[in-house]
A and B are shown apart, each in its own frame.
Chain A
Amino acid sequence: MNNVFVFCEIDEGKIADVSQELLTKGRSLANELKCSLEAVVIGSKLEGIENEIAPYGTDIIHVADDKRLEFYLTLPFTTIIVDLFKKQQPQIALFGATSVGRDLGPRVSSALKSGLTADCTSLVIGNHEDKKEGKVYENLLYQIRPAFGGNIIATIINPDCRPQMATVREGVMKKEIFNKNHKSKVVAIDVNKVVTDIDFAVEIIERHMEPRKIDIKGSQVIVSGGYGVGSRENFKLLYELAHVLGGEVGASRAAVDAGYADHARQVGQTGVTVRPKLYIACGISGQVQHTAGMEESAMIISINTDPTAPITKIADYNIIGDVGEVVPRLIEAYRKHSK
């Protein structure tokens, strides 16, 4: 009872990256709260799935395995989670901010009449004093997220309702094996006892999933462009530089919205979060929605005509100049030194 729960999402038969990241976070929260970490996984043909989860340090893994649950469906997944949470009374429940987690989380929160905070960038344990009520709450989950288009950072709490629920985007939390030989208790959920035919009112008739083509998260060097790059044509220079440096091309939301780059390359709050060794920001002003997705890069270089752009405050090197001039010169300079 009153443990930390992580909803583990299945992606192509494996535990999704974001769930592994949340298990890592969940383990450290559980340690701090001196409680257990429990996982729940729903799907079909899940034999042995516990071996993928337990190394992250879970104490109990709840498994709902049924052939009707191969692909995510809102209603039966909600029914299973709500039933489990009513019995287990978690104090914290974490979901990936994926198309699944962002569909399931609100439905569960509504059914349990508990609060949910979307797209948290940080989760911390802390206390809260309600001066009006003269009440002190200990060990609440601070759910920290950018809000209002990224212009503010809000700390959200759920003082009275449980579970305290949050979704987190992939790549925001670090993933770390707790102990590769860690063993966890496995509890099978009796699916037929929980779900009813009404839960299968929505039917999937077709699925076309493509493997991830562009994945800039794994790249050690990212050359990223913003609206300041000016055109899709100018973006080609960024591809050249990225190619020469053995990296990938990223983009800000403004550049993606302007059609300069594909959404899959978008870095930031509504795109991917990256931590490369080197991040070169070309014509990116540095709105917090963007920097939230790249500020942990080991080294940041900004190329911008505006020496006062917000990005210059987080960059290690600021090149004041036009992207169209600077990028070809960087390519030339690199060729000189790499020989």
Chain B
Amino acid sequence: MKGLKIIVLAKQVPDTRNVGKDAMKADGTVNRAALPAIFNPEDLNALEQALRIKDTYPGTTVTLLTMGPGRAAEIIREGMYRGADNGYLLTDRAFAGSDTLATSYAISCAIKKIDFDLIIAGRQAIDGDTAQVGPQVAEKLGLPQITYAEHINKIVKNRITIQRRLERGIETVTAPLPCLITVNATAPECRPRNAKQLMKFKHAKTVTELQSAVEDYYKLHEDRPYLRIPELSVIDVAADTNWLGLAGSPTKVKAIENVVFVAKDAKQLTADQKDLDWLMGELVANHTLG
């Protein structure tokens, strides 16, 4: 079989395991600038699946597509270090404040500008845990979707066989290409950076990054065009701004409440046997136990 053209959808996410006080803006959206940013974990699982197809079917190309602010180019480079061939950064102020539906619309517009046979994405991003963007992108492109993929078994005659992980078991399905697959965290971990790829793509940059770089990379990028990470704007992808950003998002954040624990009248006990005997006596007496 000839190689496939694969798009991997990836997101740079705030590391929600390390959240500070300035993490939220007044309008209820996330202040991404104040947080450490990482490659969304399940998108790495998705990248690994794409790289495995590339291993099996020579001639396959893996293209990363991410939407976000300028710094999101970091994860495109990270993906290239691990084996992706190139990437696009979908970035525009008009995207700010988009909910999942507006985000899916923007991404689907970008995908229409890229030639592909298969789209692979992580199941969900850790900052929202919604698992909506994958299926919504598939719907907007009119493609079948296969969610919760754990293993891509084979690709034969334009049909792909995929193993899915469900709550209580596994299901194997076949789907025609092109289609969109979302990958679970239970799928194999992504391979680490590859030294050769790292050397090759170390200076991969977007135009914006080139302009603000201290060193002059223009000559280098002229000689090695593969180092350029294209930036796509609303105009580049011919998106209708009515469907983007806060205005294009049907869901609105009405209120945000920081989690504050309400103190309850709690009894404090020590680890002494005496205290614990008393506690068990209470629980048995009030029928909590037995």
Contacts and interface: CB of A to CB of B under 8 A. Distances in A.
A90 interface: no
A89 interface: no
B273 A278 contact: no
Nearest to B252: A157
A115 B288 contact: no
B199 interface: no
B24 to A, nearest CB: 6
Given A103-B145, A155-B255, A209 B168 contact: yes
A106 interface: yes
Q: Looking at chain B, what size class is its interface with the partner chain?
A: 35 or more
B268 A307 contact: yes
Majority secondary structure, B binding face: mixed
A149 interface: yes
Given A110-B135, A201-B175, A202-B175, A278 B250 contact: no
A91 interface: no
Contacts of B3: none
Contacts of B145: 74, 103, 107
Given A148-B30, A155-B253, A318-B269, A337 B135 contact: no
Given A154-B256, A211-B168, A117 B270 contact: no
Contacts of B174: 202-203, 205
Nearest to B243: A113
Interface stretch (A33-41, A59-67, A158-166): A158-166
Contacts of A202: 144, 146, 173-176, 179
Interface in A288-317: 288, 298-299, 301, 307, 310, 312-317
A98 B165 CA distance: 12
A204 interface: yes
Given A115-B249, A117-B251, A149-B127, A98 B283 contact: no
A15 interface: no
B254 A142 contact: yes
Nearest to A143: B251
Interface string B115-147: 000000000001111111111101110001111
B104 A113 contact: no
Interface stretch (A47-55, A180-188, A229-237, A323-331): A323-331
A75 interface: yes
A321 interface: yes
Closest CB pairs A-B (n = 10): A149-B16, A321-B271, A115-B250, A115-B251, A313-B261, A209-B169, A110-B139, A106-B132, A161-B250, A106-B135
